[in-house]
Structure 1
Amino acid sequence: MAELSDRSNLPVVSVIVVNYRGADDTITCLRVLREDLDYPADRLEVICVDNASGDGSSEQIRAAAPEVRLIESDTNRGFAGGCNLAARNATGQVLAFLNNDAKPDRDWVRAAVAVLRSEPTVGAVASKVLDWEGRHIDFVDGGLTWFGMGYKRHAGEVDDGSHDAARDVLFGTGSALFVRAELFAALDGFDERFFMFYEDVDLGWRLNLRGWRVRYEPRSLTFHRHHASMAEVSSAREYYLLERNALAALYKNVSDETLARALPAAMALSVRRATARGEIDPTQLEITRRGDHEDDSPVPIARSALAGMLAIDQFVEMLPSLKQSREEEQQARVRTDADLVPLMRKAMEPAYPLPRYLAAHDALVEAFELDGVFGRPRKVVVITGDAVTERMAGPAIRAWHMADVLSAEHEVRLVSVNALVSPPESDFAVVAAKPRELGAHVDWADIVVLQGHVLEMVPALKHVGSTKVVVCDVYDPMHLELLEQGRDTDDERRAKDLAGVTKVLNAQLQRGDFFLCASERQRHFWLGHLASLGRLTPGLYDNDPTVRSLLSVVPFGLPSVAPRRTGPAIKGNRSGIAAEDKVVLWAGGVYSWFDPLTLLHAVHRLSQQHDDVRLFFLGMKHPNPDVPEMGMAEQTRGLARRLGLTDKFVFFNETWVPYGERQNYLLDADCGVTTHFEHVETTFAFRTRVLDYLWSGLPVVTTDGDSFADLVREEGIGVVVPAEDPDALATALKKVLYDEEFAAECRRRIAPVRERFTWESVLAPLTEFCRDPRPAADRLKASAPLVRSPQLNRVETVRRDIALLREYLDAGGPFEVAKRATGRLRRLAGERFRGR
């Protein structure tokens, strides 16, 4: 049964072998495929295409391997065309391309399939290829030059075991390559215009640009009679195809910026290769060498030299059709040229050791400044809906620091759709944009980082065909906030607003390629959301069982530099607060989900024992004019007046402290406080004001129930109290304010905790993602499961339907049967409609 289970979980693999006047090699290859592979025969389809050999090859192959599916082409389509012809007729979920002069190892198929099944973001598997005797390397890695020529790195070297580790590569050799069948079809297969040479380079290049990985797997091993298939192709024709196809691949696949520099230099270099290879005198037509008589006699040119010039001529001939291909590739790409530089290995390598050629290479690199042509900084746009000014609230602060940290490696724009944009100085661009103007910024960027309602303002990003890599910052569970914030509105409006915000968040969760949240609690919450929306697919899970490549924790951060006073703030500066008073700081705004009322009662009780206690509310008016004042703010002012605390023990800053001055207020405080009610919003909230307390070394007093309460308790950096308990809160404040030994110990413990929360540290997941951005595994195009459920025959279908009928009758009687039948008919109708 174990073997049966294993067989049923293996995809059908269609192995494709192209023959052109090499029947003996082909028959040897086909025999190994049918007899020596460790892969179930019923899961293996072997297809051989005879490329109009005209030498009796078809008859020989049919007689020697009758069980192999033979397709006879009416013309010689080349390697690319022959493979595509077979692929269109294949039934497997995996296509395996094998040269007819290659011999696969026993585990060749099974090892490659294992990679495709375990790593859903791998679109193709490149086999390890050795020479026929297994001593020297044919393929273990691919390189690509800036002028478009792919090459096999380490070819000809002794296989000493140093290439037995799997790794990502730019391309695999077409002589032994596995590709997901659906993906191969989505890319229209190999480019048949190449005929032969570089069609495998071009395919791997396109796969990588679209976000797929090509994985070199050394356990998938083959042996190759090097260039046996090229016996009838002259070196001049080989040069011609290499030169022409390199230009075609370069033209199709590089960005506009790269193409503008690289293509003219590549064409010039192709000419120099031709003259250097043919040892042609490049000065023979100089006017100064005319002599007494004009010499118009023919000049002999070697075919190897002519190849480069004719290649350029035919590249020009191909341009009309290549232009359309280029437009398709550029529209579908999700990765930059810079992303692929590590896979190119040595992009600036000259490749040919000819002295005149090397001189030209260096001159062109310098003249066209090609050293940095593939190193263009990645473009990242961070979009917020909040005001970006000297006075910034949480969303803008978070967006600001994301832009700041990312700008160290990338070209970054911080874009706000808020009317208030007057930022501090920065090393990155900060611009205001109306919603209708966001499209231009999104088009400019390689990566879009957004928060809040921004996705709704760029409908094109939500489209299923959008290729932009999108990072959604969902640190703010807006729908949970709205449950509390909307208490003051009528029930109908509240329900409508909640449904709208939930829809906004669902749209982000369905579209994003990477998500950021603020705590492990939030991460658990958002994982549930993602699961309910169907994002936690088997493929995504198999690619990363932790799912951290999709959803990672990025809390609010702290500056890496300790706070330094730049001016007076509270003590000795605010009327009623002396330099020796004990200041309790409420940093941030007063919103409906907070509980400042219990805090006022606690301060009132503590003031009866200590008349030097002072509570200071840092900001009552939100810097974003679009955020209205909530009812809790007025309730707080009213209770303070009734208790006789206002301007005596309790003080309100009715504006908002500029972000660059907040340290002065923090340094004047003796402890920081945050109090809230016990409800769902609290459970998943992340109180950013507590981080400012840590930054300035303030002991923290907080209500229990959120992630920071857990931190304060576990790290011993303050006191945690129950919700709505003024006595416990008064006791906690007294301890951190007047127990000097306890307060000093809290400050000592805060120091190492603070280091964990610097912006550079907390943003590490975003930094790493932006270094290698890709679509989420479940958003890759053509990513259907490799192994699908088998189709039931008529008898099995009837048995299944009878069992379902009994189940529905038991569950709900005839009504349940009718309901289920209606639903099934609707699904079938939908499938037929989609099929059209």
Structure 2
Amino acid sequence: MLPTVSVIVVNYRGTDDTLTCLRSLREELDYPGDRLELICVDNASGDGGVERIRGAEPGVRLVESAENVGFAGGCNLGAREATGQVLAFINNDARPDRAWVRAAVSVLRSEPTVGAVASKVLDWEGKHVDFVDGGLTWFGMGYKRHAGEVDDGSHDAARDVLFGTGSALFVRAELFEALGGFDERYFMFYEDVDLGWRLNLRGWRVRYEPRSLTYHRHHASMTEIASAREYYLLERNALASLYKNVSDETLAKALPAAMALSVRRATARGDIDPTQLEITRRPDGPDDGGEVSIDRAALAGMLAIDQFVEMLPSLKESRETEQLGRVRTDADLLPLMRKAMEPAYPLPRYLAAHDALVEAFGLDEVFGRPRKIVVITGDAVTERMAGPAIRAWHMADVLSNEHEVRLVSVNERVDPPESPFAVLAAKPRELGAHVEWADVVVLQGHVLEMVPALKHADSTKIVVCDVYDPMHLELLEQGRDTDDERRAKDLAGVTKVLNTQLERGDFFLCASERQRHFWLGHLASLGRLTPGLYDNDPTVRSLLSVVPFGLPSVAPRRTGPAIKGARRGIDADDKVVLWAGGVYSWFDPLTLLHAVHRLSQQHSDIRLFFLGMKHPNPDVPEMGMAGQTRSLAGRLGLTDKHVFFNETWVPYNERQNYLLDADCGVTTHFEHVETTFAFRTRVLDYLWAGLPVVTTDGDSFADLVRQERLGVVVPPEDPEALADALEKVLYDAEFAAGCQERIVAVRERFTWESVLAPLTEFCRDPRPAADRLKASGPLVRTPQLRGVETLRRDVALLREYLDAGGPVEVAKRATGRLRRLAAERLRRNG
């Protein structure tokens, strides 16, 4: 079913054009007539046009205004009378292409984050461009890019724009109403720029759709209006838009410069001598203060500033509304402004003033300001980092190439290596300031719980949740050492923490396709996979994307001794098996010890090295598995002979020395649900160093090793198979060389720059998730039943409830319905 589209045409003493437009809308559109509502607003023309329109087009709803309220006011008047779910605005001196409405509606239905569709507009003959893209200068003046150029097909690709032209524009009706429609104070000019600006600030997209085509007699409505009046409206309305829509920081620099530039535009346009009142230019005779003539075009700029000041009290209220409702920053909108620093007017004195003001007010910095991103972790950020901190560190590093980034840790241990971005420690109560500073917040773990204001549904901050660690699954295994009651409470608490993130986030990151399937189930159960989101993106990757752990793009280089020849009991020619991560309860180092014990009977040179037994984050206690591992190694007589423990944690920037001393990497785990969705973070370093891998089956890393033939995958808890696999990668030189050759190709896919591409792309154009946009009701609503239809439905329901559970079921259903009606009434009444 298609939505009803209300097409609004404003007429002011242009009846011939209006009748041509209305006839085209009625006869030529490829859209069902019963889903089309034609509305014509007459702006107090007083020329007999109303009677002509009523007689010629009886099917058009004619709305008469008591006075000329301008284009903006006329459009709003028509919108208030409209019943459609989509509002379409078209100038009375324009005619639509056959697909004008259908193409625009298609975009609105398929892309629920699009709030408005900007049509392609050509001149009446269809040869030259009227509108295909919009630009905005730093001083608030919108302009049509490529206007007047030959339409050569180079603008036939859809794209996001800052605004569409009011001469052919579609807007969701509910959204138009929520925004208060066009600003009627503008009367005409820039009301469309202002509306698009406000739509984008609130997270909605304005989409240029070239298939939605119209033809326009440009400014037919302005033929009787002097150019000075047009200058006046353009100058005044540009200042009003700038004042309403930019942030406090931008306004402080841009507004005074814009007002000064408006004066210079006026004097340059009117060719006024700016030095005529200099004291050194007094006449030889008496200074009689005689009159000086001034061109009306010059007067327009000065009067525009005067009336802008007059409008300030009401504009101040509008500014408060827009700043409160915005969810996007000025920096977010810079790409849509296209060329914000373009001077726009080729007048020599004006251009000189433009350059001077830009430099004096530092406007290049304001309109070239990098986006501010804060990455917040709960892990220790030091020379010795575990998985969460490593991941947060590289996110900050990659994002800092394009943005201003802070990496903030709430852990007490913050003593980082040198970095191109700020690394700061913060207590939970101090996070609010960092969140307030940022345009985008990237967080992990329990961080969201530490910033309660960020959790609220009305929070406008853009939030990226990194859920690479399914903490609740991890806790199922980790909590085995605690009592049953505490384990159950801890699990419930962690699940709630994750659900809060999944309900709030605008974008989510996970570490593998397996995890993605798991989190999609979570999101679906929480109601985040809405029809609107699905229609916009059936893959749902715009909400949840895979970002595995990554590798440095530079190959590892040795900086010092590590294992071979450096650790007593390990010689330069020994075969070293490296366990690169920590020893946790969900791992199975015990089977590995038995396998090494078997293999040591045939190969006396095998050495197993555990890289880190003590977690660098003091908040993470040692798990029982670490003690069991030491104990079993001792009982088997392996400790310091074939098995070696590094009891501390290797500094992150020194780990390559240990990797380069190894001959293969190993990871073993039990078969359970945590394994299924885990992504072993430090294990990826094996690929960085070119080490053949031996891994237990069951996780996503095992899938990679098997598919790309990077080593050997073995069944869980099978010491014999594990021993055979280790023997193959250590002592079969041809097999090991083949693994290493294939690793070289695979690891290029896992550089941090590559794996973080989804996050990088999102941060270039961050927006709220589709289901978090306000005024995003359904475009096509279920028709309301009336009279007999309602009675038939109720009788059918009554029979269904009686069959299902008798009178008790009927009573229960009736009570529930009353509650829903009461809740709906309360919601409507606010």
Same fold (TM over 0.5): yes
> 1 CA distance for matches of 2:806 and 2:739?
66
2:631 aligned with 1:638: yes
1:748-767 alignment runs, 5 A limit:
748-767=741-760
2:117 aligned with 1:125: yes
Instruction: Please give the TM-score of this superposition, normalised by the length of structure 2.
Output: 0.97
Partner residue in 1 for 2:266: 274
Partner residue in 2 for 1:832: 825
Partner residue in 2 for 1:3: none
Which whole-Å deviations, capped at 9, do the CAs of 1:22-41 have from their partners, x for residues lacking one?
33332332233233322222
Q: Is the Cα–Cα contact under 8 Å of residues 385 and 416 in structure 1 kept in the other structure?
A: yes
Partner residue in 2 for 1:620: 613
Q: 1:139 to 1:403 in 2, by over 3 A?
A: same
> 2 CA distance for matches of 1:409 and 1:264?
29
Residue 299 (structure 1) shift: 0.7
> 2 CA distance for matches of 1:451 and 1:236?
57
> 2 CA distance for matches of 1:494 and 1:805?
46
Which whole-Å deviations, capped at 9, do the CAs of 1:20-60 have from their partners, x for residues lacking one?
23333323322332333222222111222222333444344
Aligned-residue Cα RMSD (Å) equals 1.8
> 2 CA distance for matches of 1:75 and 1:453?
59
Partner residue in 1 for 2:433: 440
Specify every segment of 5 or more residues in structure 1 that has no aligned partner in the other structure, as ranges: 1-8
1:58-457 alignment runs, 5 A limit:
58-292=50-284, 293-457=286-450
2:657 aligned with 1:668: no
2:607 aligned with 1:610: no
Task: Name the SS for the 2:143 alignment partner.
Answer: strand
Q: Is the Cα–Cα contact under 8 Å of residues 401 and 759 in structure 1 kept in the other structure?
A: yes
Percentage identity across aligned positions?
88
> 1 CA distance for matches of 2:798 and 2:424?
62
Comparing 358-367 and 685-694, the one that deviates more: 358-367
Q: 1:223 to 1:716 in 2, by over 3 A?
A: closer
Q: Is the Cα–Cα contact under 8 Å of residues 559 and 654 in structure 2 kept in the other structure?
A: yes
> Residue type matched to 2:44 in 1?
A
Which whole-Å deviations, capped at 9, do the CAs of 1:786-823 have from their partners, x for residues lacking one?
11111122322333333334444555555544444443
Task: Name the SS for the 1:334 alignment partner.
Answer: coil
> 1 CA distance for matches of 2:378 and 2:366?
35
> 1 CA distance for matches of 2:30 and 2:732?
74
Task: Name the SS for the 1:362 alignment partner.
Answer: helix
Residue 335 (structure 1) shift: 2.7
* Count of equivalent residues: 828
Which whole-Å deviations, capped at 9, do the CAs of 1:710-760 have from their partners, x for residues lacking one?
111122221111101111111212222222222222222211111111111
> 2 CA distance for matches of 1:813 and 1:487?
48
Residue 262 (structure 1) shift: 2.1
Task: Name the SS for the 1:24 alignment partner.
Answer: helix
Q: Is the Cα–Cα contact under 8 Å of residues 337 and 375 in structure 1 kept in the other structure?
A: no
> Residue type matched to 1:414 in 2?
L
Q: Is the Cα–Cα contact under 8 Å of residues 581 and 683 in structure 2 kept in the other structure?
A: no
Q: Is the Cα–Cα contact under 8 Å of residues 6 and 86 in structure 2 kept in the other structure?
A: yes
2:648 aligned with 1:655: yes
Counterpart of 2:568 (choices 567, 571, 575) is 575
> Residue type matched to 1:498 in 2?
L
Task: Name the SS for the 2:75 alignment partner.
Answer: helix
> 2 CA distance for matches of 1:711 and 1:146?
50
Residue 186 (structure 1) shift: 1.6
Residue 400 (structure 1) shift: 0.3
Residue 320 (structure 1) shift: 2.2
> Residue type matched to 1:691 in 2?
L
Q: Is the Cα–Cα contact under 8 Å of residues 203 and 773 in structure 2 kept in the other structure?
A: yes
2:685 aligned with 1:707: no
Residue 120 (structure 1) shift: 1.6
Task: Name the SS for the 1:801 alignment partner.
Answer: helix
Which whole-Å deviations, capped at 9, do the CAs of 1:271-309 have from their partners, x for residues lacking one?
111111112111110111113221300111121111100
> Residue type matched to 1:466 in 2?
S
Counterpart of 1:551 (choices 544, 547, 552) is 544
Which whole-Å deviations, capped at 9, do the CAs of 1:476-498 have from their partners, x for residues lacking one?
01111111111122222222211
> 1 CA distance for matches of 2:2 and 2:371?
39
Task: Name the SS for the 2:545 alignment partner.
Answer: strand
> Residue type matched to 1:145 in 2?
T
Task: Name the SS for the 1:450 alignment partner.
Answer: strand
Residue 354 (structure 1) shift: 2.2
> Residue type matched to 2:151 in 1?
D
Task: Name the SS for the 2:725 alignment partner.
Answer: helix
Counterpart of 1:592 (choices 585, 596, 600) is 585
Residue 675 (structure 1) shift: 0.7
Partner residue in 1 for 2:531: 538
Partner residue in 2 for 1:4: none
> 1 CA distance for matches of 2:594 and 2:812?
59
> 2 CA distance for matches of 1:137 and 1:670?
66
Q: 1:564 to 1:232 in 2, by over 3 A?
A: same
Q: Is the Cα–Cα contact under 8 Å of residues 40 and 62 in structure 2 kept in the other structure?
A: yes
> 1 CA distance for matches of 2:39 and 2:649?
73
Instruction: Please give the TM-score of this superposition, normalised by the length of structure 1.
Output: 0.96
> 2 CA distance for matches of 1:572 and 1:36?
85
Specify every segment of 5 or more residues in structure 2 that has no aligned partner in the other structure, as ranges: none
Which whole-Å deviations, capped at 9, do the CAs of 1:174-225 have from their partners, x for residues lacking one?
1111101111112111111111110001111111222222122222222222
Counterpart of 2:497 (choices 481, 492, 504) is 504
> Residue type matched to 2:201 in 1?
L
Comparing 376-385 and 315-324, the one that deviates more: 315-324
> 2 CA distance for matches of 1:795 and 1:496?
54
> Residue type matched to 1:347 in 2?
A
Partner residue in 2 for 1:682: 675
Q: 1:631 to 1:208 in 2, by over 3 A?
A: same
> 1 CA distance for matches of 2:196 and 2:25?
25
Residue 779 (structure 1) shift: 1.8
Task: Name the SS for the 1:676 alignment partner.
Answer: coil
Counterpart of 1:24 (choices 16, 39, 47) is 16
2:810 aligned with 1:804: no
> 1 CA distance for matches of 2:161 and 2:537?
20
Task: Name the SS for the 2:241 alignment partner.
Answer: helix
> 1 CA distance for matches of 2:275 and 2:481?
87
> 1 CA distance for matches of 2:496 and 2:218?
59
> 1 CA distance for matches of 2:154 and 2:558?
57
> Residue type matched to 2:537 in 1?
D
Residue 437 (structure 1) shift: 1.1
Residue 395 (structure 1) shift: 0.2
Q: Is the Cα–Cα contact under 8 Å of residues 231 and 297 in structure 2 kept in the other structure?
A: yes
Which whole-Å deviations, capped at 9, do the CAs of 1:468-519 have from their partners, x for residues lacking one?
1111111001111111111122222222211111111111111111111111
Comparing 523-532 and 214-223, the one that deviates more: 214-223
> 2 CA distance for matches of 1:713 and 1:158?
57
Q: 1:173 to 1:484 in 2, by over 3 A?
A: same
Comparing 575-584 and 587-596, the one that deviates more: 575-584
Q: 1:162 to 1:617 in 2, by over 3 A?
A: closer
Residue 689 (structure 1) shift: 2.3
